[in-house]
Structure 1
């Protein structure tokens, strides 16, 4: 079931733009023509669904992946360096956490080009990821195996990358589902509010916002993109949550 929940929206998002014909035409708003009818400006809803998910998915994946690359390195550095360096690395993140994430996204999306959205979502997730990695690394770094590596003369970076980082992989894999879902939520929320995107752009969240006025005329113009967003979020969480269990089963 989880593969179906994840596979359907991912397939539509990634492969959909290749299936849309070049000669798109417009009809009457909220008409019954086509597979799912038309939207508020007369475009085919099915074609808009095929076009509307790629940007959302790619932006969420890039932002979450970038946040983990930076956050893991940041947290490991804080956990394996002297206390003074730890304080210098972690205190700016406390300031960043004090800024409401959605407010930050709305301001930047209004003032900056669309590409900045990836960087802002990365910054939103960075403090939590770095703090999680630091906490895990401090606990793992105090285990007997880490102490034995120190006694053998291994340097801090070798211990961090060779022992500490692999030991926290299960925690990070479980957390990744929540972070990726959070990225989808933030990006969809900004698009739904119409900030930084054209009012008639092909985007699932924009479709929900722009077509809700005609919900009783053509419900599919709202339900189709909304269901795909929900399926993607649930499917991601279920799949990533089961990955550590599968890894344990394979090792046994």
Structure 2
């Protein structure tokens, strides 16, 4: 079941645009024409579903990767170079104290529209959590006798922090990855819902939910299908990571 929950949205997001005609026609809004009817501006709902996953899925994946690329070294450095701990972590605590949607709106106002800006904003919102989790995991590992023995043997900071502590953190980071990816997915969907990063009439699952809700009872598929795809992908990701971690623990 979890593979279906992940596979269907991902296949639609990655391969869906291939099956969409180059020339798209428009009809009357919220009409039962075509396979799933038309949306709020008269476009084929099925074509919009095929086109609409690219932004939500790909931006969420890219932003999650960027958050770990920045957050993990940040947290490890704070845990192992203790004089820098306060300097590195206190600004992140301030950022975490602000609601993520408020940060999203404020940064979007400064950065302006665009998918690159959206990736950067979602990365900036997510990486403080990644850094805190990385720091907590690294602190626990840095207190082990093996790390002290490596220091006494004259091992370099790089070998201790990356070679030993970094590898020992992989299980903790894997456990966090499913939650972090789901958070990024919902944040990108919320941004699209609010019109941040994508045009208000873009072929995007979150935009479809927002713009077509006025005609929910006239054309429910334009709202239900993209909403179900976003939720299914989030649930499937969490189930898959939970299952993988349980297998590893046995």
TM-score range, shorter chain: over 0.9
Count of equivalent residues: 248
- CA positional deviation for 1:188: 0.9
CA distance in 2, matches of 1:87, 1:40: 51
8 Å contact 2:113–2:196 — kept in the other structure?
A: no
CA distance in 1, matches of 2:234, 2:87: 35
Show structure 1 runs of 5+ residues with no match: none
Alignment of 1:47-66 (within 5 A): 47-66=47-66
Could you report, residue by residue, the CA deviation over 1:184-214 in whole angstroms, capped at 9, with x for unpaired residues?
1111112112234322110000000111111
Match of 2:203 in 1: 202
CA distance in 2, matches of 1:239, 1:147: 36
8 Å contact 1:173–1:241 — kept in the other structure?
A: no
- CA positional deviation for 1:248: 4.5
- CA positional deviation for 1:101: 1.4
Could you report, residue by residue, the CA deviation over 1:119-151 in whole angstroms, capped at 9, with x for unpaired residues?
111111121111111111111111122222222
Matched, 1:234 2:235: yes
Match of 1:18 in 2: 18
Secondary structure at the residue paired with 2:202? coil
Secondary structure at the residue paired with 2:217? coil
Match of 2:216 in 1: 215
8 Å contact 1:52–1:204 — kept in the other structure?
A: yes
Normalising by structure 2, what TM-score?
Answer: 0.94
Match of 2:86 in 1: 87
8 Å contact 1:79–1:86 — kept in the other structure?
A: yes
CA distance in 1, matches of 2:245, 2:156: 29
Show structure 2 runs of 5+ residues with no match: none
How large is the Cα RMSD of the aligned pairs? 1.4
CA distance in 2, matches of 1:127, 1:100: 13
CA distance in 1, matches of 2:106, 2:45: 30
Match of 1:143 in 2: 144
- CA positional deviation for 1:13: 0.5
Secondary structure at the residue paired with 2:42? coil
Match of 2:39 in 1: 39
CA distance in 2, matches of 1:212, 1:11: 25
